[in-house]
Structure 1
Amino acid sequence: MTGPLGVAIVGCGNISHQYLSNLTSFPGVRVVACADLDLERAREVAGQYGVPVATSPQEAISHPDVELVVNLTVPAAHAEVALAAVLAGRHVYNEKPFTVDRESGARLVEAAEAAGVLLGSAPDTFLGAGLQTAARLVAEGAIGTPLTGLVLFQTPGPESWHPNPEFFFQPGAGPLFDMGPYYLTTLVTLFGPAARVAAAGRRARDERVVGSGPKAGTRFPVAVPTHTTALLEFAAGQAATMVFSFDSPLRRTGFIEITGTEATMRVPDPNTFGGEVGLRRAADDEWVPVPTKGTEAGRGLGVLDMAQAIREGRPHRTTGELGLHVLDTMIAVAESAERAEFVEIGSTCPIPAPLPEGWDPAAIRFD
């Protein structure tokens, strides 16, 4: 087929605006439909971005002009919605996390393979200029042989600013599952798949208090660890130390350092598409900045890469295997913290190929 790839957005919550602002500007895709269980919300979002159809999720999946479904539903619905789309012969891109458990994720990957459709998963931030530059430096040997990684995500927690923060502290969330996909995807794209992990988890308080909005002052229970520390070993031999915390008065986010035999590299915040890359060798007194090359267009790059892969008949980069492996790794971290023992990680995935230099979303067309 030729022409823009037909896309449906399923799930019209807050994150849909970030996707739609980009996808409606990329000439390689055409957003055909916006869908939500709340039809009024679907109509409002569709009208805001000039999308011609506002409908239910099932109607959007079966729309004849839809080739790819961008699944932005709540995590608990990711597997169900994605499987329905796959069984209808549609390609699917899931927001993170890929699914909420290993079993549903594995079934989804198997179903997509059997149906002959592509399966993708957020985050796609590793396709942005900052992390693509970091990946090229590692591949070119700028830090020598990669040895270790250090990851820090530390905040006091979102309850001080979020008007409805309770879901951040329930199973399937916490700092590990909320922010872990960004950091772990970055490590896997630089080192390759993880092999085993040892972790410890703590919960500073059994209750938290809503700090803003109409529910300010309301207490709510904490059901997950709010501080997780992990030592992750990779199949190729590297190791990484990771901290994910909602218990720190000191805010320190977007911190990733990769150390090799020749230099240490400072990696941009993995929740962004740009940022600064720095190198520091043993003889350096300061970080040496490295100019970044690539696009900073934002969320939806993974969808566009899938569209290009579909039209050109080649593999895409934000694969379901990558999303499943990151999910599997996060679950293994949680299991290790609970059991106080090393946990083996059974899944694997390929390292995504780098984007071609000069890859420009505004220039990708399928006429």
Structure 2
Amino acid sequence: MTLALGIIGAGNIFPAYLRTLKRSRQLRIVGLADAQPAAAQARAAESGLQAMTIDALLASDADLILNLTPPLAHHDVGMKALAAGKHFFTEKPLAATFAQGKELVALAKRKKLRIGCAPDTFLGAGAQATRALIDAGTVGTIRHGTAHFMSHGPDHWHPNPAFFYQPGAGPMFDMGPYYVTHLVHHLGPVASVSGTAHTTHKTRVIPFGDNAGKTIEVDVPTHVISHLTFASGAQIVLTVSFDVWQHGHTPMELYGDDGSILCHDPNLFGGSVKFARQKDAWSRLTDKRPYTTNSRGIGLIDMAQSIEAGRPHRCSESMALHVLEVMERSLDAARTGRPQRITTTCERPAPLEAKLF
């Protein structure tokens, strides 16, 4: 069965999704819409797609809507898509707030529709290799770990970076989904969080491009340190920052009773994974797994296949809502100075050992 797909959002991430989706026979793209019609028309012309208004796309025969809009629009677009009877897959995060995320999940449940949510990088070769090491008990039970995303922000590569400093973004909501999702995929759900957060600079200046010299107001914490306590007992310290020029940290390290794992970058599908048992030398995993290059969209394809097969999809709404709560509660813990209990939970997604198509 081929599902009809409508895409809302024609921004920077659109080409990466399109490259993957065009290779799949699971989906037929019926049209592309954007809040700025000219953007949709330009992307549609270069991609051989039909440009449509958002209302027309929602009224079309699309079975499923892919949302690639900025985070503050995710809730509105999702509610409209679900109300129109469409399954909904969105770029991360699920919504700008946990309350909005709960509304989306509740509506999908009432309408008997599915929600899927990026990131799908955990389906790539790097994360799946790490998961296999953990599940095999190669380094024993994971007890501790660290995770780091630190850069000087998107000001230096994104043509219009202002939204990265608005609620629903910042380093925690922009990059946190990759790291928290990978950790939940590896270790299971989070039980509680604590931490600190800082807004280092109240304004930033765009350094290049058409908006060079423009001042951005910063309305979110830009350096966040969170202590995640997992239901399994594992303790992980996560640092996300838009205030660091350079550092030497590994993206993620996991420490077990019998050894350690050096994980790949959760923003990527492939990458080096190393492990060492006790005092042994580090070994690099060399087993071949699918999806080593940018494959954004495979989570959507998995969801489409799952709808047809009647099985759970891996980029599930329960995991996306759980990750959203973990991120929001991390900022709450930093603001209040008190640990926060996580109220949601989720199952670890099934491992992916073969290509989806």
Tell me what 1:175 maps to. Answer: 171
In 1: Cα distance, 2:225 partner to 2:318 partner = 25
Q: Which moved more, 1:279-288 or 1:237-246?
A: 279-288
Once the 2 structures are TM-superposed, how far is the Cα of residue 35 of structure 1 from its aligned partner?
A: 1.2
Tell me: CA distance 1:47–1:158, structure 2 relative to 1, closer, same or farther (3 Å): closer
Tell me what 2:60 maps to. Answer: 63
CA deviation vs aligned residue, 1:188-235 (integer Å, no higher than 9, x gap):
111111111111112322332221124333433322222111111011
Tell me: CA distance 1:219–1:68, structure 2 relative to 1, closer, same or farther (3 Å): closer
Tell me what 2:16 maps to. Answer: 18
Tell me what 2:200 maps to. Answer: 204
In 2: Cα distance, 1:39 partner to 1:224 partner = 29
Q: What is the identity, as a one-letter code, of the residue corresponding to 2:318?
A: E
Tell me what 2:148 maps to. Answer: 152
For the 8 Å contact 2:5–2:66, the answer to whether it is kept is: yes
Matched residue SS, 1:315 = coil
Mapped pair 1:305 → 2:306: no
In 1: Cα distance, 2:331 partner to 2:145 partner = 19
Q: Tell me the TM-score normalized by structure 1.
A: 0.92
Matched residue SS, 1:14 = coil
Tell me what 1:28 maps to. Answer: 26
For the 8 Å contact 2:72–2:167, the answer to whether it is kept is: no
In 1: Cα distance, 2:108 partner to 2:35 partner = 24
Matched residue SS, 2:326 = helix
Tell me: CA distance 1:103–1:307, structure 2 relative to 1, closer, same or farther (3 Å): same
Tell me what 2:258 maps to. Answer: 262
* Identity rate, percent: 38
In 2: Cα distance, 1:218 partner to 1:62 partner = 39
**Which of residues 346, 350, 353 is equivalent to 1:353?**
350
For the 8 Å contact 2:151–2:243, the answer to whether it is kept is: yes
In 2: Cα distance, 1:23 partner to 1:59 partner = 21
**Which of residues 126, 129, 134 is equivalent to 1:130?**
126
Query: Unaligned 5+ residue runs, structure 2?
Result: none
**Which of residues 72, 75, 79 is equivalent to 2:71?**
75
In 2: Cα distance, 1:162 partner to 1:19 partner = 18
In 1: Cα distance, 2:323 partner to 2:248 partner = 22
Once the 2 structures are TM-superposed, how far is the Cα of residue 161 of structure 1 from its aligned partner?
A: 4.1
**Which of residues 70, 83, 92 is equivalent to 1:96?**
92
Tell me: CA distance 1:164–1:287, structure 2 relative to 1, closer, same or farther (3 Å): same
Mapped pair 1:242 → 2:238: yes
Tell me what 1:221 maps to. Answer: 217
Mapped pair 1:281 → 2:285: no
In 2: Cα distance, 1:316 partner to 1:240 partner = 26
Q: What is the identity, as a one-letter code, of the residue corresponding to 1:235?
A: A
Tell me: CA distance 1:6–1:303, structure 2 relative to 1, closer, same or farther (3 Å): same
Tell me: CA distance 1:291–1:161, structure 2 relative to 1, closer, same or farther (3 Å): same
CA deviation vs aligned residue, 1:307-357 (integer Å, no higher than 9, x gap):
1011111111101111111111100000011001101111111110112x3
Tell me what 1:344 maps to. Answer: 341
In 2: Cα distance, 1:101 partner to 1:159 partner = 23
Once the 2 structures are TM-superposed, how far is the Cα of residue 253 of structure 1 from its aligned partner?
A: 7.1
Query: Unaligned 5+ residue runs, structure 1?
Result: 362-367
Matched residue SS, 2:10 = coil
Once the 2 structures are TM-superposed, how far is the Cα of residue 160 of structure 1 from its aligned partner?
A: 3.8
Alignment root-mean-square deviation, CA? 1.7
Matched residue SS, 2:252 = strand
Tell me: CA distance 1:12–1:312, structure 2 relative to 1, closer, same or farther (3 Å): same
Mapped pair 1:315 → 2:312: yes
Tell me: CA distance 1:163–1:295, structure 2 relative to 1, closer, same or farther (3 Å): closer
For the 8 Å contact 2:66–2:89, the answer to whether it is kept is: yes
Tell me what 2:187 maps to. Answer: 191
For the 8 Å contact 1:21–1:49, the answer to whether it is kept is: no
Once the 2 structures are TM-superposed, how far is the Cα of residue 181 of structure 1 from its aligned partner?
A: 0.3
Matched residue SS, 2:192 = strand
In 1: Cα distance, 2:41 partner to 2:347 partner = 39
Once the 2 structures are TM-superposed, how far is the Cα of residue 358 of structure 1 from its aligned partner?
A: 2.4
For the 8 Å contact 1:197–1:342, the answer to whether it is kept is: yes
Tell me what 1:331 maps to. Answer: 328
Tell me: CA distance 1:31–1:169, structure 2 relative to 1, closer, same or farther (3 Å): same
For the 8 Å contact 2:272–2:284, the answer to whether it is kept is: no
Q: Tell me the TM-score normalized by structure 2.
A: 0.94
Tell me: CA distance 1:221–1:92, structure 2 relative to 1, closer, same or farther (3 Å): closer
